[in-house]
Structure 1
């Protein structure tokens, strides 16, 4: 099973890329993690719906290789690390590659949200996109460490 983070946004600071790369490197071979940057739509005079639709059309071809879509949204399920680990373990049992979508500055197209198999949120706080990517990378690594009984995660 493969995991992919598909993030709408511009090139991020080196420290974010380095942090994501560190967690990608730590992932087990049977659960590789990739981060794919999707170019945001230039704002100009377009409506929010037009921007989101254009970004969704850029995401669609990349999503073709994934069996499961998880959207990150402020109204998504608020999971603890242990609950994320349980979901990850279930997805691993079911098989199929999983894509996590982080939308751009204006969010994610409603049609794309409807395609999602799951919707989660990382925090009740509003996070910058750079931090959301890095936190998601770390939390996926932490969740797999829970599943594998690795000592990285300490409960209690």
Structure 2
């Protein structure tokens, strides 16, 4: 199973970039994994929130294949403990050809992206910056991989 993380806009903070790159390399030892970045929209001051979500949504949908299993990282999604996420991921590895996670822009997702999604996951009830969520997610994905393999990274 190929796993893809789609992001809207570049990661700005050099510390987050270093952490994301570190975990991306680690994840690659367990599964094919890549991050795709959709460019940030230009001149957003003239757009409403809905227009911005719509335009970002069109760009996101262009990245998807019909057979993809699409999972949105969304505040209204399911919350998992790390071991539960690992179980969920193991199930997806047995049923999905391409598992695509999406972190949207600052206003979330368009209705069309929500309609295309197969699932939604929340990393926490707390609110994190979109930049920080990227690092937290790849760390949790790596943690799930190590749990599946029975490696000692996760302690419970």
TM-score, normalising length from structure 2? 0.92
Contact 2:69 2:96 in 1 (8 A): no
Alpha-carbon distance, 1:106 to partner: 0.9
Alpha-carbon distance, 1:13 to partner: 1.6
Please, what is the CA RMSD of the aligned residues? 1.6
Matched, 1:103 2:104: yes
Alignment of 1:51-130 (within 5 A): 51-64=52-65, 67-130=68-131
* Cα pair distance change 1:18/1:66, threshold 3 Å: farther
* Cα pair distance change 1:107/1:143, threshold 3 Å: same
Gap regions ≥5 residues in structure 2? none
Gap regions ≥5 residues in structure 1? none
Contact 2:75 2:125 in 1 (8 A): yes
Contact 2:30 2:145 in 1 (8 A): no
3-state SS in 1 of match to 2:146: helix
Alpha-carbon distance, 1:40 to partner: 2.5
CA distance in 1, matches of 2:89, 2:27: 13
CA distance in 2, matches of 1:123, 1:66: 28
CA distance in 2, matches of 1:45, 1:54: 13
Alpha-carbon distance, 1:66 to partner: 6.3
Contact 1:85 1:144 in 2 (8 A): yes
